[in-house]
């Protein structure tokens, strides 16, 4: 039951914020909506979003000056206080409202614990594509570190595939300079994933920015890296018997992946299945799960 509630969080928040998503009851429960002085609100320290585009903020502030703040800011009451609210979703609107010199803002008060606040903050930003890839990865890391979430938990909560979560988390392995270029928009997440396969990501990242290299260009560079060049086999050509080669071909066709069988004379050996992306691995695991009834 708790798991179903977690899965409904993203859809529930989307409905609350006016997105076209099916209604679902989030774990955080709505209390009421009211108008309060803007100084009663304070930002959420757990909000994964740290960067706010100045131009976009000014445009939103201009719109608010003309039309007012139509969409309420989602908040929770700060414990042991009367008139202090922590923002759950809508910090950008709150910042723009201050620029527009609003004295009061509409709020939607919810009951939510720290974990739910963190989940909702990530969900809102991911749904609106407001996070840069590093902020998104840091948010996932925080949920995993603070609340022992698995990658599957995160995928269900935010409505993304497990491979998307895994690929995003891998970006945290990049060196700091490359992370900064990714955070400020100089590089895309596709560039970053290609850089992970290179021995000196920072040097290539700077080259990618200065020369305007595409993701495809970086992928070609990663394929040319020494560790990605195929190793010369020490076995003589035609070493495998026809039956083994035929079985390899059948497995290749059945899985859509590269399957290598290394059979030894004493009857032992190994079967290696090679995949290029996490999506391919996910698809294989799903097929094996259905075949072996691993999902009950």
Instruction: Name the domain boundary from 140, 166, 192.
Output: 166
8 Å CB contact between 112 and 88: yes
- CA-closest candidate to residue 76, choices 40, 104, 25, 39: 40
Q: How many structural domains are present in the chain?
A: 2
Among residues 166, 195, 218, the one where a domain terminates is 166
Three-state DSSP at 108 gives strand
Same domain, 246 and 162: no
CA distance 136 to 50: 10
The answer to whether residue 282 sits within a structural domain is yes
Q: What is the mean pLDDT of each run of 10 residues along the chain (296 residues)?
A: 44 40 40 84 81 82 88 88 88 91 92 83 71 86 84 84 89 92 90 88 92 88 62 52 80 80 80 79 75 58
The Cα 124–Cα 131 span in angstroms is: 10
Whether residue 216 lies inside any domain: the answer is no
Q: Order of strands, edge to edge, in the sheet holding 73-77?
A: 29-37, 104-111, 73-77, 85-89, 41-42
Indicate whether 153 belongs to any domain: yes
Query: Is residue 150 located within the same domain as residue 256?
Result: no
In a domain, 202, yes or no: no
pLDDT of 277 reads 74
Find the catalytic residue in 86, 91, 124, 135.
91
54 and 138 in a single domain? The answer is: yes
The H or E element containing residue 201 is helix 201-211
Shared domain for 20 and 125, answered yes or no, is yes
Q: Which of 287, 251, 288 is nearest to 271 (CA)?
A: 251
Asked if the structure places residue 236 within a domain, the reply is no
Q: If you count them, how many residues does the chain have?
A: 296
The answer to whether residue 213 is domain-embedded is no
Same domain membership, residue 128 and residue 19: yes
pLDDT at 97: 93
Q: Please confirm, yes or no, whether 91 is among the known catalytic residues.
A: yes
Residue 129 lies in a domain: yes
**For the domain that residue 23 is a member of, what is the CATH number?**
3.90.1530.10
Q: Which residue among 151, 166, 181 closes a domain?
A: 166
Q: Are 7 and 111 members of one domain?
A: yes
Residue 171 lies in a domain: no
- Residue identified by tokens 């902020």 is 135
Best CA proximity match to 19, nearest among 108, 125, 113: 125
Residues 64 and 151 in one domain: yes
Task: Determine the structural domain holding residue 56 and report its residue range.
Answer: 2-166
34: β partners: 107
């Amino acid at each position: 039951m708790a798991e179903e509630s977690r899965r409904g969080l993203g859809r529930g928040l989307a409905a609350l914020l006016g997105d076209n998503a099916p209604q679902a009851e989030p774990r955080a429960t709505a209390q009421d909506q009211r108008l309060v002085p803007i100084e009663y609100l304070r930002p959420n320290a757990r909000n994964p979003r740290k960067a706010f585009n100045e131009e976009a903020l000014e445009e939103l502030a201009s719109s608010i000056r003309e039309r007012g703040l139509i969409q309420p800011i989602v908040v929770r009451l700060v414990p042991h206080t009367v008139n202090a609210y922590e923002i759950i979703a809508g910090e950008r609107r709150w910042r723009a409202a201050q620029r527009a010199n609003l004295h009061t803002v509409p709020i939607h008060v919810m009951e939510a614990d720290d974990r739910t606040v963190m989940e909702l903050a990530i969900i809102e930003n991911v749904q609106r594509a407001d996070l840069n890839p590093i902020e998104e990865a840091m948010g996932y890391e925080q949920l995993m570190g603070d609340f022992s979430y698995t990658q599957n938990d995160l995928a269900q909560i935010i409505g993304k595939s497990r491979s998307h979560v895994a690929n995003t988390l891998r970006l945290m392995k990049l060196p700091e300079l490359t992370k900064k270029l990714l955070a400020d928009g100089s590089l895309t997440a596709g560039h970053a994933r290609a850089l992970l396969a290179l021995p000196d990501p920072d040097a290539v990242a700077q080259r990618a920015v200065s020369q305007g290299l595409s993701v495809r260009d970086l992928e070609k560079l990663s394929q040319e890296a020494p560790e990605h060049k195929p190793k010369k086999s020490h076995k003589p050509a035609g070493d495998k018997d026809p039956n083994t080669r035929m079985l390899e071909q059948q497995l290749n066709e059945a899985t859509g992946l590269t399957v290598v069988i290394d059979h030894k004379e004493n009857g032992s050996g190994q079967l290696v299945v090679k995949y290029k992306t996490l999506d391919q691995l996910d698809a294989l695991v799903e097929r094996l799960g259905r075949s072996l009834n691993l999902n009950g």
